[in-house]
Amino acid sequence: MVPLEDLCPSRRAHLYSPSLRRRRSLRDGDNAVTRLFTSLCTALAIAAAVHAPAAAAQTKDNPYLVSVGALAAAQLFTTASYLDVTKEALVRDAFKAKDVRIALERMSGMTDNVGRYLTDVIQTNITDEDRAFLQEAVAVYGLLKTESLSLHRYAGTRAASDLDAFVKAREVAWERLRKLLKLPA
């Protein structure tokens, strides 16, 4: 199991100290969007954990690999949704640009690490179907990174051209994500 601090080193100090987490929460403001996103992440993680054993039983696959795939899918969907919610909050001035940029930088680091871990799994002895899924997942992570960088730029400039770049990156990322996860259009 990968320690959380390896996925997001910048959050290390907050992992072990409830008082630091409380102070950070109070300082940043606990708003409805943050609570909604946290609830969404929790629900997706639970759904992935519940789905993984059923999928393993049906396909007789390695339950660990099924779990990796389910968690990767949930994290991809959650990241894409997070970017959408963050953009909406920024456009409506619910979040400060500085806070958005910090949040996107943290998310970017976690996404990079997850992509590297999936690349390590791709190098193992897995089926071609599993390899293709994980390779596409890594590619979608790259597209989400491009989307995140566009939103980060927009948060700094508020230029219409940067918002347009975000929207275009979002369309490409969501289309590939829909195909990968077999979501309806």
* Model confidence pLDDT, tens digit, residues 61-75: 789 999 999 999 999
High-pLDDT (> 90) share of the chain, %: 61
pLDDT for 34: 54
CB proximity list for 63: less than 8 A, separation 6 or greater: 52, 53, 56
pLDDT for 150: 96
Domain ranges of the chain: 32-181
What is d(CA 66, CA 63) in angstroms, rounded to the nearest whole number? 5
- Tens of pLDDT, residue by residue over 172-182, are 999 999 999 99
- Tens of pLDDT, residue by residue over 24-64, are 443 444 455 555 555 555 555 555 555 555 444 444 578 99
- Confidence category of residue 185, pLDDT binned at 50, 70, 90: confident
User: Token pair for residue 95?
Assistant: 């979040």
- What is the value of pTM for the model shown? 0.68
Assign residue 31 a region (left: φ > 0; alpha: ψ between -120 and 50; beta: otherwise). Answer: beta
pLDDT for 61: 73
What is d(CA 54, CA 172) in angstroms, rounded to the nearest whole number? 31
What is d(CA 87, CA 99) in angstroms, rounded to the nearest whole number? 12
